[in-house]
Amino acid sequence: MKLKCLIVDDEPLAQRVLEKYISELPGLELKGKCSDAIEAMEVLQEQEVDLIFLDINMPRLSGINFLKTYKNPPMVVITTAYTEYALESYELNVLDYLKKPFSFERFLQSVQKAEERVKGGVEPQEADKDEREFIFVKANKKTINISLDSILYVEALGDYVKIFTKEGHVVTYQSLKGIERLLPSHKFYRIHKSYIVSLSKIKSIEGNMVHMEKSTIPIGNNYKQSFFQRIHPA
């Protein structure tokens, strides 16, 4: 299985070097190149990415701030000309830190770390996902604890998601894919490109619509077959 990679760097030369290195390894597949972190967020909502090569000093949003705001990103290798961010980046659980200019051999070491992590199984932050009873999300300059049992469904709103609970709703800067990584799959299921539902909160299903306690949610055509297989296993 190839690791799907994304380059996030505002320097054309750095992009070309990384693109060349990636092309020389059959186990890597380049899914895109971005000149800043905002563009990367858009790509990550549309593409499956396993490994990001991320610069730090970029316009609009730095690589460090990108990591702080993006919950559960893919594996990340920092690529920068500066060393002063090393400690902070490792605190953000980056896979490796490459100081520019770096050789192909040093690049290969980072890729090997990524391959070893994948072979090792589940990502560390997801290891206890099935036993988790709550999640933490940032909203209104606070970190909020949300009980999984209280969640009815989650709706994508561009770069944000709206988490509907028994008590109300919470809007957080997060992708639906990122929230999906946090939620245990035996309790929650994505039924549409814009919706994840709590399976235990479904009241009934009629045609292409799922009826929740106070809402009706469409089932996307691309999700319908897998969803019905999920609720009606052979």
When pLDDT is averaged across residues 14-22 and rounded to a whole number, the result is: 96
Whole-model pTM: value is 0.52
Helix (H) or strand (E) holding 107: helix 104-119
Express each pLDDT in 72-126 by its tens digit: 678 999 999 887 777 777 667 788 899 999 999 999 999 998 888 877 544 444 4
Given 3-state DSSP classes, what are the helix, strand and coil percentages for the chain, each rounded to the nearest 5?
35, 30, 35
How much is the pLDDT for 139?
84
DSSP label at 220? P
Q: Which residues contact 167 (CB under 8 A, 6 or more apart)?
A: 150
CATH of the domain spanning 129-231: 2.40.50.1020
Task: Give the residue with greater pLDDT, 146 vs 142.
Answer: 146
Asked if pLDDT for residue 27 goes beyond 60, the answer is yes
Radius of gyration (C-alpha) of the chain in whole angstroms:
19
CA dihedral 188, 190, 192, 196 (to 10 degrees): 40
- Integer Cα distance of 182 and 12 in angstroms: 34
Going by C-alpha positions, the residue among 134, 135, 170, 140 that lies closest to residue 154 is 170
pLDDT-derived band at 205 (thresholds 50, 70, 90) equals: very high
Domain ranges of the chain: 3-126, 129-231
Q: Which tens digit of pLDDT belongs to each residue from 38-75?
A: 888 888 888 889 999 999 988 888 888 888 877 667 89
The reply to whether 3-126 and 129-231 are identical in fold is no
- Side-chain half-sphere of 104: how many Cα atoms within 13 Å? 9
**What is the reported pLDDT for 149?**
93
CA–CA separation, 221 vs 6, rounded Å?
A: 28
Query: Is 147 strand, coil or helix?
Result: strand
CATH of 3-126, one of 3.40.50.2300, 3.40.50.300, 3.30.70.20, 3.30.2130.30: 3.40.50.2300
